Every structure is written in C-alpha cells, then in structure tokens.
Structure 1
C-alpha cells in the first residue's frame, strides 16, 4: 500500500513538474530572477542598510539569496494552489486520496523552490563568496523558501484574484525585507513577528539575544516546520471540496462594463491604496536622523546638496510602490480577460475601443495607487514643486502600467509577475535612487524609470524646473510602450480559429459540429470539413 502511494505521489509530482516545464519562460525566470536580484541588488541593499541604520555589511548580501528564493517560492506556490484548484478537486472527486495529491503538490513546490534557491546561492557565491559560514547560507536560504511556500499557499487558498494574491505576497515580502533585522534594527520588538526574522539572524550569524532557550536556530526551525504544516493544511482544504464555481460571462462592452467589473474587486482597490500608504509611512518611521548628499540640477548646472534624510526619504519611496502596483494591475487586468477579448473581437467588437476599455481600468488602478501614495507622502514630505512631483509619479504609474500590459501576453502569469516585481525594484528602488547614487549609473539611463525619476528628483528637491530632457525621455517611453501595447493587443485578440483560404468556397473554421461545404466540380476532396479532435 505504501509503495503504491509513493509511486502515485511521484507520478503526480512528475506530471506537475512537466506541466510547469511546458512554459520555458517560467523555468527561465526561476533561474534568472534570483541570479539578477542577488548580483544587482546585494551591493545597493547593503548601502541602503548602512544608510537606514541596519546591520549592513555581509549580512545583507547573504540575506539577498534567501529573499530572492523566498519570493519566487511564494509566487510559484500561489499559482500552483490557485490555478490547479479545480483540477485538484476533480482528481479527489474521481477517487484520488487527498494525501497523495497534497504530497505531490508539496513536492512540486519544494522542487521549484530548490531551483530558485540554488540559482540564488550560485549567484551569491560568484558575487561575494559564501565564506566560512556556507552551511548557514545554504540552510537559511532553504528555510526562506520553505516559509514562503506556506505564504504562497495561504494566499492561494484565501485570495481568488491573481492581482490581489500577488500584491499580498509582495506586501508581506516588502515588510519582511525592509523592516527585517539586517535592513532595520535587529532588536525592534514589532519586527520579531516577521516570518524570517529569526532565520535571517541565524543565517547572518547575528545573535538576537531575545530568542530565549530555544535559540535563533530553534525558532527558525519552528517557523519552517509550522510553514510546512500550514502549506499542507491549506492545500488539503482547497482540494477537499468538490464544488465548482462558475464564472459569469466576460465583459459585454467597453468602459462601462470594465469599470463595473473592476468595482466588484473591492480587495484590489483596498490593496492599491493600503500598500503604498503603509510602505511610505513605515519607511519614514524607520529613517535615521542623519544627512545625505544628493546630486540635483539648478539653473542648468548639476550640483551636490546636503539634505536631512527624514525630510526627504518618504518622497523618494512613493514611486517604488506606485510602479510595482501599476505593473501588476496592468498585467492581470489584460491577461485575465484575454480569452473574453478574443470572443468579443470575434463577435464584432472593434480592437481599439476594446483596448481603450481595458487601459481605462488599468490606468484607474494605477492612478488610485498614485493618489494614495501622494496623499500620504504629503503628510510627511514637502515637495518644492508639487505639480511636477505629481506629474512625475503619474508618468511612472503610466509607464509601468503599460509595461505590465505587455508582460502578461509575453511571459505569462508567473514569469510576468516575477519580472513585474524585479524591474521596478532594480530600476526605481536601486539604480535611480538619489540616496544610493549621487547620479544614476550609465546603464540605468536606458531603464524605463530614468526620465521620470529625473523629473521627480528635480521637483522634490529644487525650486525650479530643470529636467526638460528627463520629461522628454519619460514621454518617449510612454508613447513607445503605448504603441507596443496597441500592436500586441491586436495580435493577441485576433480570433485564433478563423482562417480564410482563397480558392476554397464555403471553407469554414472548425466549430462544434462538422459543417457541409460545396466544392467545385471535379474536386476529389471530401465534401465535408472535418473537425480536429
């Protein structure tokens, strides 16, 4: 009996992994995203930790491997739990023991997490080496992945919308990274409840002195064990019920129906507002009392100025939250309705009005995140030029919303989410950050946020507008992305089953039943068009 159970679980796990491998972009993202994140973000995050009063040093660089592996494990497990729910229920209803299904899903999730963790560790070893504590780095990265597997499974079990689930995972990850023990104060009581608090301390060999007799490693293992138990319970619960929820029809027409559908997703609108509010306020609350030097343009001349960090930190953090949320909103708003849009196009709905309807919903979501960010930022930060500051944040929202629209059809759900997370973080959070670079490095000039970030920094810190070139670059990015969206949308909404061939009268696309056709005299072909099975 146990042998049969093991063979069934192994067969299912192989099938699940084969299904994941059918989308090569997903597997590529599992490797490339942690490699790029560790290689690019480790150094700047170390500098940010030093600036914000965290532990800094090698501890941050070691933790980046765990952060990368954890996020990817959570996203992968979320989509496994969410997308396969109906199929898993049918398997259980057909007689498959739930324990075998859950074991197979957990095995698949752990295998994908192991790929991401390995890639992150290899990148860390190549960048700075694992040092004498290589065992801690490897074990800590694996515990990160296990803990975030549970977070992804929990989000998949509780949140049905991919937009909401992805944003929720991103929100937990941001809190865990930026307010954890190496980026902030290690002895802050409020942060001890973060999921990887003790894992990070043990992994970086930073004794907490508040773990009691259990010790940091003991608490880390308890978190990992509890995470496995939570993931197991969630997957079991989601596959146990045999009910099937049927969706109503897709959007019937234009902007009115698009807005009506979006209005039903109240959780999304709450997250679009709450995430930037919490992100900006917590960033300001943890800013150390010290000065920093930044490069700004005044009267056409680039000069260095000293600024008091608590006065400006909030103003530079808002764009990161705006860009991430706008990209995710753009990705899922269009991707979730792609099949319905094809049906509408087949029914005669013109592509341009249909695209404008979708983009209206996307931009309203991005503008909601922008308005919430600016409103809360205004309580802790006073921009020198509020008009241009608002315009720069709006340009960032527009740019990344259009990028999100492009990412969905090109990379799919999982790959698109990972890129939507990585690009704004590296672009706006690291390379364009005026606190980490007096001037952006040369390669950052080609990133989407460069022009708008130049406008934002100028508007935030100087009394006169000197960034006409940055405004033109940002406008060029927005126009180019809009054109790319139009072209991609036309190709992805073109009905795939309609193909007309000249010289074959009465030829029709395959439908639910074979369709009779009349052929020219003497034609020896079959007189019916057969449908592929």
Structure 2
C-alpha cells in the first residue's frame, strides 16, 4: 500500500510541470510521424532495410528516449530526498520499487502514444512484435536512466551519457544498416530491434533473438534495481555549489568563479572528447562507399556535383554532435547557476557581469566541443577550405548554446533536455542534411541551423565562398538569440523580493502566483510617539 502511495506522489510531482506531460505525448509523434520517414531514407542510403522496418523501430526509439531521460531525473534529482525517506524508516527496496514503477507507467504511456502514431502513420503489420518490442525498448532505457541517475549526479553529464548511449544504439543498430560487428551486438537494443522488425540475424546460439532481447531486458532491470537500492542506503552526499563573486573587477571575479565551477566537472570535459570522437569516427566506418549528387553554389552558379557518400557524411557529422552538446551545456549552465547568481545579484554584483561570465563559460564549452569534433573529423575527412568549415561549426555551436540557455527558464530540466536534443537533431541531422535533401527546402531556410549548414558545405566541398545570404541569416539568428537571452537571464536572477515589490506597485500578479489572487500594497503602518513609546529605565 505504501508503494502505491509513493507512486501516486511521484507521478503527481512529475505532472506538476505540464511541459513534461506535453512532451511525453508530442515527442513520440515527432519521432514516428515526422522523423521516421527521413530516417528510413537515411537507412536505405546506408544499406539498411528502410521502409516499414525503420518506422516500426522508430516507435521503440521514441519510447526508449523518453523513458531513459524521465527515469534519469526520477532517480538523480531526488537522490537526497530518497535517502532521507530511507533514514526515516522506509525500506530501500520499497522506495526503489516505487521509483521504478513510476518510470514504468511513464514508459508505458510513451509507448502507447508512439504505437498510436505508428498505427496512424503506416499501420502495424505485426502487432505483437511491435507492441512487445516497443515496451522492451522503454524498459531497457528505463533501467539505463536509473543506472546513470544513481551514479552520475551532475545533470549535464547524466543526460549526455544517456543520450550518447541512445544515439549509438539507434544510428549503429541493425535498423539503420550498421554492420554486424561483435561490438554492435553489445548495444542495448540490438537483439530487440532484430526481433521487432523481423531482420534475419544469423547469430549463433540457442536463445535466438527474442531470448537475447528478453535477457537484455531482465538484466538491465536487475542491475538498475540492485544499484539503486544500494545507493539509497549509502550515507553522505556531494553538494555541488555555485560560487559567484564585483564594472571590470566584478566581471573578472564572475568569470573566475564561473570557470572555477566549470573546472569542478572533469567528467563533462571527458564527455566532450568521447562523444564527438566515437560518433564521427563510427559514422564514417558504417557509411557505404557510394556516390551521391548535391547541388552547390560555385562562383555564383548552382551546379550539381557528385561526391563519395563517406566524404559528405564525414563533413556533416561534426555539427550534429556540436549542436547537441552546446544546447545541453547552455541549458544546464543557466539552470544550475540560477540560485547562486540570484544571491550574487542580491549581494550587489551587476547582472551584466554575471551574464558575461555565464556566456563566457558557454563560449568556452562550445569552442571545446567544436575543437574536438573538428579534430575527429580531420581523421576521416579533408575539407577544401578548413577555416570556412571551422567557422561554420563555431556559428552552429554558439547558436545552439544560446538556444539551450533560452530553453532553461521556459521548459525546466526534463522538458529542456527533450527540446535541447530534439532541435539540433531535427534541424541539422534531418532537415539540413544534404544526404536527405540535396537541395535546401523552404522549411530548412526557417531554422537556426540553415546558415551554418550552408557555409559548412561551402567550406567543405567548394573552392570559393558563395554563401553570403546564409551568413547573414546565421548572424541574424545569433544576434536575435543573444538579445532574447539577456533580458530572460535578468528576469531569472532578479531577487524574489524585487519581483514582489514590482507586483505590489503595479497590481499585476507575478509569474507563478496562484491564479485569482490579487496583490495589493499594504497600508503603511503608523509610527508615532504614542505607538512606539516604551517605558524607559527609571
């Protein structure tokens, strides 16, 4: 009975942010209805089955993505609270059961939405395989989110790890046409995908693909249970505090404090190296050596040119990794520093100095991700003009770092992570992809990655610069985002008593105030000699 009560409380806490519920319903639809068609085309180019197999697998990808991120925050953000509850007397196993049950309910909801979208998009040819496979996807990533949540407290590191595993699993799985290496068989949903989309694997063994898929699912849940229960009993917690510091001196102190805070997270910098290197080099390894025709601008003329597919794929992998990493860092830099910056502003530090410090950290992180990605790209691809190619990647990095910073006050942690990953994936990985769209579409020109993507291809594959208009569009996006981020940041770090004072003077309810309440100025108290008189010493 206690477990049921806790599950209800956990679900109510998750549903308190309506954005979480909205994205839990919208993200599967986006993956299955909008993205699956483009990914099926990409799988066909890469030698995969394409068509219905990718559409069916997309339902599992969407459910796994949502379950992994939701369970990570269910486990990581509540670690201290859960320990106090265990110290108060609740058995750790019961608390872990409540957390996992909450994750299962959220995963089943995401799976149901994904399957409904699949039925509306293409129909479900084999319902048992599609339904069972989608649920197994969700449960495996539920366990992955719980494992990462119990071992990685920093939200930037945790979400990057979960997304990194998910990206490797999707893009180098059998549905996307990756080679059947021994290493790819160790991906979490390799066997689930093979059984779900009815791909003949030829793997030796008595269990078969379904047996291995069930084994993976059971082993993942068991590992998550044991690790979460063990960590719930462990005493002691690391506290991650944000220090802040006073015109030029204030800016210097704020920058010093911000960089000191960033250096305390060495795992993030390690991930900045591992994620782009593995992603870019592995993508190049699985790309078939076939020709592809693109429309490029050379000396003011639009011409069709044929290139080897690995050459184009190698050039376009770096901005996807850079955009996703920059957006996530922008999101969590603003979220995690909010309380510390608010206290620093209350103590007298200028908001402009604080904002410059945070943007300095964002710029450094974006440049670090760009440098590592370009180094990895240089191992598999030789750009025609490296300075132009590198500048395009920097433009994409800065753009998505500001987008991530803007998402922080709008969507919070869980919803912000979904959007921070989804936007660069859809924009740069799907809509701007030259492999899927040899010519830019009308829709692609409206997205923030258009300018950087066109300049990138120009520097990678042509000998002269012909992308002035995309450069202006990309610069306009960058300036516009900066002009929006600045007042949003000032609003976020404004001390609460200043908001209340402004509300009292204007009579307008503050954001977050209970609906229907009016805020009035209280009448000033009379301070006269009679009311303040006290008997003095005699």
Partner of 2:389: helix, strand, or coil?
A: helix
Partner of 1:189: helix, strand, or coil?
A: coil
Partner of 2:149: helix, strand, or coil?
A: helix
Give, in whole Å, the separation in 1 of the partners of 2:244 and 2:528. Answer: 47
Question: Where in structure 2 are the equivalents of 1:33-432 lying within 5 Å?
Answer: 33-131=27-125, 133-185=126-178, 187-248=180-241, 250-252=243-245, 253-432=253-432
**Residue 500 of structure 1, CA deviation:** 3.5
Give, in whole Å, the separation in 1 of the partners of 2:213 and 2:502. Answer: 64
Q: 1:462: which partner in 2? A: 462
Partner of 2:496: helix, strand, or coil?
A: coil
- Alpha-carbon deviations, 1:479-530, whole Å to 9, x = none? 00001100100100100123447999xxxxxxxxxxxx98336899999xxx
Partner of 2:68: helix, strand, or coil?
A: helix
Q: 1:520: which partner in 2? A: 526
Change (3 A) 1:387 1:520: same
Contact 2:243 2:261 in 1 (8 A): no
- Alpha-carbon deviations, 1:443-490, whole Å to 9, x = none? 222111011111111111111111100000000000000011001001
Give, in whole Å, the separation in 2 of the partners of 1:285 and 1:51. Answer: 14
Contact 1:66 1:140 in 2 (8 A): yes
Contact 2:243 2:257 in 1 (8 A): no
Runs of 4+ in 1 over 6 A off after TM superposition: 501-504, 522-527
Q: 1:445: which partner in 2? A: 445
RMSD: 2.1
Give, in whole Å, the separation in 1 of the partners of 2:258 and 2:53. Answer: 47
Give, in whole Å, the separation in 2 of the partners of 1:122 and 1:279. Answer: 31
**Residue 48 of structure 1, CA deviation:** 0.8
Q: 1:510: which partner in 2? A: none
**Residue 166 of structure 1, CA deviation:** 0.7
**Residue 128 of structure 1, CA deviation:** 1.1
Contact 2:171 2:178 in 1 (8 A): no
**Residue 110 of structure 1, CA deviation:** 0.5
Higher mean displacement: 50-59 or 356-365: 50-59
Q: Unaligned stretches of 5+ in structure 2?
A: 246-252, 506-522, 534-538
Contact 1:40 1:426 in 2 (8 A): no
Give, in whole Å, the separation in 2 of the partners of 1:525 and 1:502. Answer: 30
Change (3 A) 1:240 1:452: same
Contact 1:140 1:199 in 2 (8 A): yes
Contact 1:366 1:398 in 2 (8 A): yes
Q: 1:531: which partner in 2? A: none
Partner of 1:160: helix, strand, or coil?
A: coil
Higher mean displacement: 381-390 or 139-148: 381-390
Change (3 A) 1:437 1:502: closer
- Alpha-carbon deviations, 1:299-353, whole Å to 9, x = none? 2222211111122321111100000000001111111010111111111111111
Higher mean displacement: 483-492 or 239-248: 239-248
Partner of 2:439: helix, strand, or coil?
A: coil
Contact 1:388 1:455 in 2 (8 A): yes
Contact 1:452 1:474 in 2 (8 A): yes
Give, in whole Å, the separation in 1 of the partners of 2:339 and 2:346. Answer: 11
Give, in whole Å, the separation in 2 of the partners of 1:522 and 1:259. Answer: 53
Change (3 A) 1:443 1:519: same
Give, in whole Å, the separation in 2 of the partners of 1:126 and 1:503. Answer: 51
- Alpha-carbon deviations, 1:277-315, whole Å to 9, x = none? 111111111111110011111122222111111223211
Give, in whole Å, the separation in 2 of the partners of 1:9 and 1:295. Answer: 60
Report the TM-score when normalising by structure 1: 0.92
Report the TM-score when normalising by structure 2: 0.91
Contact 1:16 1:108 in 2 (8 A): yes
Change (3 A) 1:152 1:501: closer
Q: 1:530: which partner in 2? A: none
Change (3 A) 1:191 1:523: farther
**Residue 426 of structure 1, CA deviation:** 0.7
Change (3 A) 1:437 1:91: same
Contact 2:243 2:258 in 1 (8 A): no
Give, in whole Å, the separation in 2 of the partners of 1:407 and 1:500. Answer: 27
Q: 2:475: which partner in 1? A: 475
Number of corresponding residues: 508
